[in-house]
A and B are shown apart, each in its own frame.
Chain A
Amino acid sequence: AQSVTQLDSHVSVSEGTPVLLRCNYSSSYSPSLFWYVQHPNKGLQLLLKYTSAATLVKGINGFEAEFKKSETSFHLTKPSAHMSDAAEYFCVVSDLRTASKLTFGTGTRLQVTL
């Protein structure tokens, strides 16, 4: 079965400093990996996706993630945090066997302080 582990439930950074949100996955087949962001009282918005093309994936709002098969990781990074980045972030995995059924991590709440 596939699974996702988000290593930090809460991350706090100062505005202008780098962001690192960690994600490890488990999948028996070639995985597709996604990061979604959820602002308060809103649905989820896709930040970026990995689907076996380039291992370094660039997304919206300056975020990027690197797929590392040897480490089974897909960490999300951003060079410089903005106040508007404060939200909940979900790492998500699917694979060929489970087709459209996504498996979500438990989320990381990002706090950005002045």
Chain B
Amino acid sequence: GAGVSQSPSNKVTEKGKDVELRCDPISGHTALYWYRQRLGQGLEFLIYFQGNSAPDKSGLPSDRFSAERTGESVSTLTIQRTQQEDSAVYLCASSLGPGGNQPQHFGDGTRLSIL
């Protein structure tokens, strides 16, 4: 597709369940990012993948959060044993390459609600 695609667009689940969120980056983009956006707030960086390098996981809030990426394609963000404070919109972005001057292209996000 032309843009970053995320699925599902909405997810409602019970506290304690595991959830998996998916991101398809723009074809050819080597860099991929996950962010969390809580209601009425800016974006919090979670994790960054660049090519085959080790990911930058410095933003993951706890060991319940993990992410994988296969090569330079799809990425999944997994949250285990979800808590109510995990409720947020999770945004994925990709960019053509590394470097702070490369603009990031965002998907529409997954809205996660923990009951």
Contacts and interface: CB of A to CB of B under 8 A. Distances in A.
Interface in B73-100: 91, 93, 95, 98-100
A78 to B, nearest CB: 19
Nearest to A105: B42
A28 interface: no
A34 B103 CA distance: 8
15 contacts: A32-B101, A43-B107, A45-B106, A94-B100, A98-B100, A99-B100, A100-B50, A101-B45, A101-B100, A102-B100, A102-B104, A103-B45, A104-B42, A104-B43, A105-B42
Interface in A33-65: 34, 36, 41-46, 49, 51
Interface of A: 31-32, 34, 36, 41-46, 49, 51, 90, 94-96, 98-107
B100 A46 contact: no
B59 to A, nearest CB: 8
B33 A100 contact: yes
Given A43-B91, A100-B98, A106 B103 contact: no
B41 interface: yes
B48 interface: yes
A107 to B, nearest CB: 5
Nearest to A9: B40
Interface string B1-36: 000101000000000000000000000000101000
Contacts of A34: 103
Contacts of A106: 41-42
A100 B42 contact: no
Given A94-B100, A95-B100, 9 more contacts: A43-B4, A43-B109, A44-B104, A44-B106, A46-B103, A49-B101, A100-B33, A100-B102, A107-B42
Contact of B48 (A31, A101, A105): A101
